Structure 1
Amino acid sequence: MKKYNLFKLLFLLLFAASSCKSQNNNTSDKKIYSFKKGDDNGIGKWYLDREIAYVMGYEGINWLERPSREKEENTSKLIKNMNIQPTDIIADIGAGSGYHVFKMAPLANKGAVYAVDIQPEMLQAILYSKEYQTNKNIELIQGDEKNVNLPENTFDKVLMVDVYHEFNFPKEMIASIKKSLKKNGKIYLIEYRMEDPSIAIKKIHKMSEKQAVKEMKAAGFKLEKNIDNLPIQHCMVFTMNTES
């Protein structure tokens, strides 16, 4: 059963401002995060020595759907890296307009793909697409800045493509994702490689393997492998660290 219908989506669009919580520099945040001026494209909020980037708004949908994306990022190889099985339950966090969702859904045809985004305009784009009507195993979920709003102990795989570095509350978000994973579930963290200065992406929208491992380790995950076959991105696979 679809989690979204047109009436609900229109309601969320009308009240988008209230459904997406604003950044809150309260006392508890300051124990986890620090606040100082940094990159012009950053929000001035830092987590484990990394400044958080501004979220790309729904106005960037055309960039997400650009015809050159397959050539630039080899998204087909990324999907192969995930080794998707027909019965897999997958969550795409920060799904945007559904670019990867629509590639995964036919492969997990006996399972489900949950498209999670905090922007109802992004979910609207998925809802109105012909691929959404064709693939009956896609669920649309409205998340917020601290919670992915997914059922616990459910997911075999979680995909995050160039979105983690934009989380306003990365510690809380990863904790929420961790609850949603099965014990043997995997996180596929895809980020533009900080280690390569030739990649024409703003520095704040890149992440090094070292930084990713540092932050995921703090959340109770370990790096299983970094699949080094994408042109400009890390494909880092994390699993729960049962020894911690």
Structure 2
Amino acid sequence: MKPVALHRSILVALAAAIGLSAGPALSQSPHTHQHSFSGAERWAHVFDDPARDAWQKPHEVIQALALPPDALVADVGAGTGYFAARLANMLPRGKVYAVDVEPDMVRYLGERAKREGRPNMIAVAGAPSDPKIPEKVDLVLMVDVHHHIDERVRYFREMQRYLKPGGRVAIIDFRPDSPTGPPRAARLEASVVVDELARAGYRLAREHGFLPNQYFLVFEPKS
């Protein structure tokens, strides 16, 4: 999937989950896929709508990850920084790489870090096939991104080079039976994610069940 289409799909899913109308600007018709996605400030109102907190439970998610205050984290598919900004706030001696493939999102992330005084939140321009994390991290967090990735087994196999010893990958995505989220045909069962990560060289280390619409899976490399 092209990066523009990927972000449009994520925004549609979030808009639907929050109860907003995505409108014609997020049309999935083929002629829109070649256009540059922009307007991060506008879509910050979707990503960061307080109504999202009720079902996304960001603080509970971060607490469940049990990160030390000096942890290095990569939020891959960070969007406008919904999780990245919270992580930076809760990891005062750590560092958060907010990775996105859309240039306008990367620009917004950098500006948000400066505006909110978060020097430990660093915007990173990734690629659809490579997050390009600048250094090895303790955790890679991917929220509502997994089902958009092409060649997922290869992607996660290669991601291991970005993990420190003992590093983890946390994947949060919409369950097939969730009343909100992307089209049901685009959703993956948690068992499919576990199988794909196993083939990429990971084992399921922890599964959290407190999110009402999404599964929350934490993986570690097998060796």
Q: TM-score range by the shorter chain?
A: 0.7 to 0.9
Contact 1:69 1:75 in 2 (8 A): no
Q: CA deviation at 1:61?
A: 4.1
Contact 2:113 2:119 in 1 (8 A): no
Distance 1:119 1:240 in 2: 28
**1:48 corresponds to which residue?**
none
Distance 1:225 1:96 in 2: 25
Distance 1:82 1:164 in 2: 18
**1:165 corresponds to which residue?**
147
**2:45 corresponds to which residue?**
62
**How big is the alpha-carbon RMSD for the aligned residues of Structure 1 and Structure 2?**
2.7
**2:194 corresponds to which residue?**
213
Give TM-score, length-normalised by structure 2.
Answer: 0.76
Q: Does 1:192 align with 2:177?
A: no
Residue 103 of structure 1 aligns to which amino acid in structure 2?
A: R
Distance 1:229 1:132 in 2: 32
Match for residue 239 of structure 1 among 217, 220, 223: 220
Q: CA deviation at 1:138?
A: 1.2
Residue 67 of structure 1 aligns to which amino acid in structure 2?
A: P
Q: CA deviation at 1:173?
A: 2.5
Structure 1 gap ranges (5+)? 1-16, 23-40, 44-56
* 1:7-27 deviation per Cα after TM superposition (whole angstroms, max 9, x unaligned): xxxxxxxxxx9xx699xxxxx
Residue 191 of structure 1 aligns to which amino acid in structure 2?
A: D
Residue 155 of structure 2 aligns to which amino acid in structure 1?
A: M
Q: Does 1:138 align with 2:118?
A: no
Q: CA deviation at 1:160?
A: 0.2
Give TM-score, length-normalised by structure 1.
Answer: 0.70
Contact 2:55 2:211 in 1 (8 A): no
Alignment of 1:1-244 (within 5 A): 60-129=43-112, 133-151=116-134, 154-194=136-176, 197-201=177-181, 202-242=183-223
Label 1:226 to 1:132 Cα distance change in 2 as closer, same or farther (>3 A). farther
Between structures 1 and 2, the one with greater helix share: 2
User: Quick check: which has more Rg, 1 or 2?
Assistant: 1
Residue 93 of structure 1 aligns to which amino acid in structure 2?
A: V
Contact 1:193 1:206 in 2 (8 A): yes
Residue 210 of structure 1 aligns to which amino acid in structure 2?
A: S
* 1:158-184 deviation per Cα after TM superposition (whole angstroms, max 9, x unaligned): 100001111134234313321100121
Aligned pairs, number:
191
Contact 1:93 1:116 in 2 (8 A): yes
Label 1:61 to 1:175 Cα distance change in 2 as closer, same or farther (>3 A). farther
Secondary structure, counterpart of 1:156 in structure 2: strand
Q: CA deviation at 1:58?
A: 5.3
Distance 1:126 1:217 in 2: 32
Structure 2 gap ranges (5+)? 6-27, 31-36
Identity of aligned residues (%): 25
Secondary structure, counterpart of 1:129 in structure 2: helix
Contact 1:147 1:172 in 2 (8 A): no
